[in-house]
Amino acid sequence: MTGSSDCKRLWVPDQGDGTYINPIIHADYPDPDVVRVGDDFYMTASSFANMPGLPILHSRDLVNWRIVNYVVERFPFDDYDQVQHGRGIWAPSLRHHEGRFWVFFGAPDEGIFMSTATDPLGKWSPLVCVHEAKGFIDPCPFWDDDGQAYLVHAYAYSRCGIKNRLTLHRMKPDGTRLLDEGRVVFEDPERHPTIEGPKMYKRNGYYYIFAPAGGVRTGWQTVLRSRNIYGPYEDRIVLRQGNTDINGPHQGGLVELESGESWFIHFQDKGAYGRIVHLQPVQWVDDWPVMGTNQDEYGCGEPVLRYRKPNVGASYPIEVPATTDYFDGERLGLQWQWQATPDPRWSSLSGSSLKLYSFTVPSEQKLLWDAPNLLVQRFPAPSFEASTRLALHADQPGTSAGLVVMGYQYAYLGLSRDEHSNRRGEYAYRLSLTFGDSNSGREKEMSGVALDINEVYLRVGVGEGAECGFSYSVDGEEYTPIGPQFQASKGHWVGAKVGLFCVNWGQGDSSEYGEFRWFVIE
């Protein structure tokens, strides 16, 4: 849930004086797209294999955002019941057409999918496979003035060996399938060696395709323009890093306000923090969009760091996406996602706590990296503290529950029954800090302490640069550092995540569980 405490302590873009600072969301919302419907703005982003998938965020001013829903409860393929790092739901497009909201996305191994809703806060329709294909990604629908429907998409080099081509298809107006094999509308490997994420618009008689080029970390935002939907298209680079620290400023959505203003939302790749979200002003000069500030002679700008807020005709309260959860509702807060398709047996809410039940880690190496029942959320700010209160209900060694920072390299602070407790007598539990490396397939305990109680307070402090320090407390007042510092890292196409776990390192699931009273980020 979001409260005033979140706004005081976390990243707040709204400066309260009519200006905002970038990023507008300092959290991992990759490949964002945005649409305006009346006075409301909605955004979605890639979610890969984390579930629920395709978050829906809402704003009234493009600066203050909150999470309001998800489009996908589960991706309808059995292999996503287990962890599938980097697969699943890639770059979506969000549109509003004929009174309905539409989301299209590409899954690089399965094809192009679509879902619709009349109310973005309600239940979205079951996914429709628009086109089964390997390597088709980043689809964007477009309905022309004459009622004809189209879809433009890019390609995943890792799946089909193509990375610099955009293809346009005719599509059924109801968005359920493609009607032809498609026509290549842009390909220029010398000037744009990678081009992807196309978003199609029409303005003043021109067809526009906004497309990021040059790669995630080092690329730029390209805009294509033509009087004919099939081209030929002129191209212009309209936003690049320039002299700023905002690398790869690209891949997002254009939105036009009733006031006549235009704005562009895009991401910046910030390593362990993921792909954080920026907002750029857009002016139109000779029917070309001019983004950001410090434009060169060719109309290419640099990202703004601070700017006046969009003119939406009113002022709205400061708000940030939720982080803290007291587990006092009927469902988990919308900030949470599982590392795979969730199983209802994994957890329960009692009205005052969250119970995570012990399930066996499926991989032979027994790595937490492979645990599908990991409950995680995005890093919400450059620096923050995440704390939880845990009671372990376990009679035998093998079950561990605690606090985790997940990425390619990861760390977790876990409480378990001490297998040596019978020889030590009063010390029945062990609290351990473990570091893991998904690349080497190894985990190593870095520090541990024996405890005579089953309830403990756990904390991780994340500093600038995503350096993490873990600590614990037996009374919730005084915290004791444990183990060395840990450098958080990104995961597969995502930033680092912070969250909770309860797993069984043995050979069978059990009724043992970790009970979490709250999870607080400040």
Q: Which candidate in 196, 325, 443, 515 is catalytic?
A: 196
**Dihedral, CA atoms, 369, 353, 522, 271, nearest 10 degrees?**
20
Q: Which candidate in 31, 302, 319, 325 is catalytic?
A: 31
Asked if pLDDT for residue 231 goes beyond 70, the answer is yes
- What would be the CATH architecture of the domain defined by 337-521? Sandwich (2.60)
Has 261 been annotated as catalytic? Answer: no
10 Å CB burial of residue 389 (0-12, 13-18, 19+) is middle
> Where does the chain hold its CATH 2.60.120.200 domain(s)?
337-521
Instruction: Please state the rounded mean pLDDT for residues 277-291.
Output: 98
Q: How do beta strands 442-451 and 429-437 pair?
A: antiparallel
Report the C-alpha gap between 380 and 302 in whole angstroms: 25
DSSP lists the bridge partners of residue 347 as 356
The first and second tokens of residue 512, run together, are 């043992």
Q: Which fold would CATH assign to domain 4-308?
A: Tachylectin-2; Chain A (2.115.10)
Asked if pLDDT for residue 414 goes beyond 60, the answer is yes
Per-residue CA distances from 385 to 463, 481, 494 (Å): 9, 13, 20
pLDDT of residue 2: 39
Say which residue the tokens 């628009």 belong to.
130
Per-residue CA distances from 91 to 137, 198, 293, 328, 502 (Å): 7, 10, 26, 33, 31
DSSP lists the bridge partners of residue 197 as none
Query: Using 50, 70 and 90 to split pLDDT, how confident is the model at 423?
Result: low
Mean pLDDT of the chain: 95
Instruction: Please state the rounded mean pLDDT for residues 283-299.
Output: 97
Instruction: Please state the rounded mean pLDDT for residues 78-98.
Output: 97
Per-residue CA distances from 505 to 317, 424, 510 (Å): 46, 22, 11
Report the C-alpha gap between 482 and 476 in whole angstroms: 15
Report the C-alpha gap between 492 and 438 in whole angstroms: 11
Determine which of 1-10, 116-125, 183-192, 467-476 has the lowest per-residue pLDDT on average: 1-10
> Where does the chain hold its CATH 2.115.10.20 domain(s)?
4-308
Phi, psi of 7 (to 5 degrees): -70, -30
pLDDT in tens, 314-365: 999 999 999 999 999 999 999 999 999 999 999 999 999 999 999 999 888 8
Asked if pLDDT for residue 45 goes beyond 80, the answer is yes
Query: Using 50, 70 and 90 to split pLDDT, how confident is the model at 10?
Result: confident
Has 61 been annotated as catalytic? Answer: no
| DSSP assignment of 412-439 | EEEEEE-TTHHHHSS--EEEEEEEEETT
Per-residue CA distances from 428 to 192, 398, 417, 449, 517 (Å): 61, 13, 6, 11, 22
Please, what is the end-to-end C-alpha distance for the chain in angstroms?
13
pTM: 0.96
